[in-house]
Amino acid sequence: MSARIIDGKAIAAGLRGAVAAETRRLTAAHDLVPGLAVVLIGDNSASQSYVRAKSRAVAEVGMRPFDYHLPAETTEADLLALVQKLNADPAVHGILVQLPLPPQIEAARVICSVDPQKDVDGFHPLNAGRLASGLPALAPCTPLGCIRLAKTVHASLAGLDALVIGRSNIVGKPLAQLLLAENATVTVAHSRTRDLAAHCRRGDLLFAAIGRPEFVRGDWIKPGATVIDVGINRIGDNGKSRIVGDVNFAEAVKTAGAITPVPGGVGPMTIACLLVNTLRAACMQAQLPAPEV
Ligand code: NAP
């Protein structure tokens, strides 16, 4: 048996369409054009291509992009001053500072400087705390995308055994909180976990956010499980390079019930969820009800 492939690209396109429709409605009814500021520092080529994709997506759904590309030698003080300016600008509803930052800038300080209401990355400790407390919060985009993908397979995640491999602030921890909010039974595994394969075999839902190419093997997966692969790893292959996930797809597809491909799974959902967060942030700041997307 071969698993159903969860087409993140198509699901993300549908979500972007819904965001565009809601943006048109907001603009017509309330003269509100959501604005997203994206700040890139330096010349990291992966970051440059993410930022280009984000800016293109923002413009395509009818939002207003504000793009800032600063040199690699930008000081922390200069970056903090830019964030303060964006915090105070009423046309900017969301602020995203692309990570990683150059070594002279402390990421935690920058994350904390973003107005929590404009924190569309959901990395500010206030939003992380609100999420963990079950209060409305701007949550990180990649975990939000993972939940949406899992829900294309399961109408409800309630009562399902979910294993999250990885405990980063960006993916693993917020994903665990979102799964708890969906009433799943959640286990979070990490590099110190003993017998990871045994934990995997119990998971109705398996989320891999490790950063190790093809690490999760097919025989670790519970037959019929839903596998959401967050990993993005570039590997050499016969003199060329290609992107693979954290799950050995060729093996897993034989055991899983449904699985995301890499690329074309979680990646496109991250940007679509950034647009949803920007819409939510704009509504929050305009004291309008949360958008229905
Ligand atoms: P990270 O901060 O490096 O965290 C990796 C996590 O994996 C850590 O919690 C680590 O455990 C755990 N880990 C490492 N080796 C392990 C092992 N042998 N067994 C079990 N757990 C292990 O990475 P991240 O930022 O969360 O990203 C994870 C992956 O997702 C990367 O490939 C990244 O490129 C990708 N990603 C994709 C998107 C997207 O849009 N698709 C977005 C963000 C990230 P410890 O905590 O014990 O060290």
How do residues 24-60 score in pLDDT, each as one tens digit? 999 999 999 999 999 999 999 889 999 999 999 999 9
- The whole-angstrom separation of Cα 92 and Cα 282 is 8
For the segment 121-165, what is each residue's pLDDT rounded down to a tens digit? 999 999 999 999 999 999 999 999 999 999 999 999 999 999 999
Q: Is 54 a catalytic residue?
A: yes
Residue 260: the pLDDT is: 98
Across the chain, mean pLDDT equals: 97
- Position in ligand 1 atom list of the atom nearest CA 233: 32
Ligand 1, pocket-test mutation among 230, 247, 270, 277, most atoms within 8 A of CB: 230
Residue 1: the pLDDT is: 72
Ligand 1, pocket-test mutation among 96, 170, 171, 200, most atoms within 8 A of CB: 171
Mean pLDDT of 258-275: 98
Q: Beta partners for 233?
A: 244
Which residue reads 């939510």 in tokens?
A: 280
Q: Beta partners for 189?
A: 165
Query: What count of residues does the chain have?
Result: 293
**Nearest residue to 147 (alpha-carbon basis) of 137, 159, 136, 155:** 155
Q: How many CB atoms lie within 10 A of CB 77?
A: 9
Q: Is 173 a catalytic residue?
A: no
> Does ligand 1 lie within 6 Å of residue 140's CB atom?
no
Question: The pTM is what?
Answer: 0.97
Task: Give yes or no for residue 237 having a pLDDT over 90.
Answer: no
Structure token digits, residue 283: 């509504």
> Does ligand 1 lie within 6 Å of residue 171's CB atom?
yes
Q: Is 285 a catalytic residue?
A: no
**Nearest residue to 115 (alpha-carbon basis) of 275, 281, 291, 271:** 281
The separation between CA 222 and the C-alpha centre of its own chain, rounded to angstroms, equals 25
- Taking CA atoms only, the protein residue closest to ligand 1 atom 22 is 191
Question: Exactly one of 115, 119, 121, 229 is catalytic; which is it?
Answer: 121
- Taking CA atoms only, the protein residue closest to ligand 1 atom 34 is 232
